[in-house]
């Protein structure tokens, strides 16, 4: 069922607004969608319990926190099975430098987004963290030189 059949215009408006500023109070959000606080509060609870809103977060400046060296790392496993994929996923979820991980099609099996302080930190990460994962076959690193666009929300 398409999203538009499950959510009405007000729900979508609430989601758009929250993607821009999740710190708004229910009262402020209600004013922006021209409703009172109670129905907006009920809609928020429904959107949260329905899984449309996964969580509320603060977006940090990686550069100011000395984590601005961004690398996309393509990972090829030696072989792949359900057990190997499950174990790889468990390991990756516990590595803080990996901020995103996707199972992909093509020549590689996974695409990782990694934040490090610099090239030396990344080299040590490859040798001491990723390099110790069983069944890892090969890696290809793509270093981000400049970020041209980074949207946190999705188009609604």
Strand 136-143 relative to strand 69-77, pairing: antiparallel
What is the rounded average pLDDT for all residues in the chain? Answer: 94
Residues 86 and 132 in one domain: yes
CATH code of the domain containing 31: 1.10.10.10
Assess if residue 15 is contained within a domain.
yes
CATH code of the domain containing 86: 3.30.70.920
Please tell me the distance from the alpha carbon of residue 70 to that of residue 116, in angstroms, as a whole number: 6
Residue 1 has pLDDT above 50, yes or no: no
Q: How many domains does the chain have?
A: 2
Which residue matches tokens 């490859």?
A: 126
Domain that holds residue 28: 3-49
Assess if residue 61 is contained within a domain.
no
pLDDT digits (tens, 9 = 90+) for 36-77: 999 999 999 999 999 999 999 999 999 999 999 999 999 999
């Amino acid at each position: 069922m398409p999203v538009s059949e499950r959510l009405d215009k007000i729900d979508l408006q609430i989601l758009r607004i929250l993607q821009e500023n999740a710190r708004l109070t229910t009262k402020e959000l209600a004013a922006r969608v021209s409703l009172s606080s109670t129905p907006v509060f009920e809609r928020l609870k429904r959107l949260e319990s329905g899984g449309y809103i996964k969580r509320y977060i603060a977006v940090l400046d990686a550069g100011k926190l000395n984590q601005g060296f961004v690398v996309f790392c393509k990972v090829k496993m030696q072989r792949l099975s359900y057990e190997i994929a499950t174990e790889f996923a468990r390991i990756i979820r516990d590595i803080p430098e990996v901020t995103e991980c996707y199972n992909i099609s093509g020549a590689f099996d996974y695409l990782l987004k990694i934040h490090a302080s610099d090239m030396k930190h990344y080299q040590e990460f490859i040798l001491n963290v990723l390099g110790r994962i069983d069944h890892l076959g090969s890696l290809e690193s793509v270093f981000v030189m400049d970020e041209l666009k980074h949207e946190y929300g999705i188009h609604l």
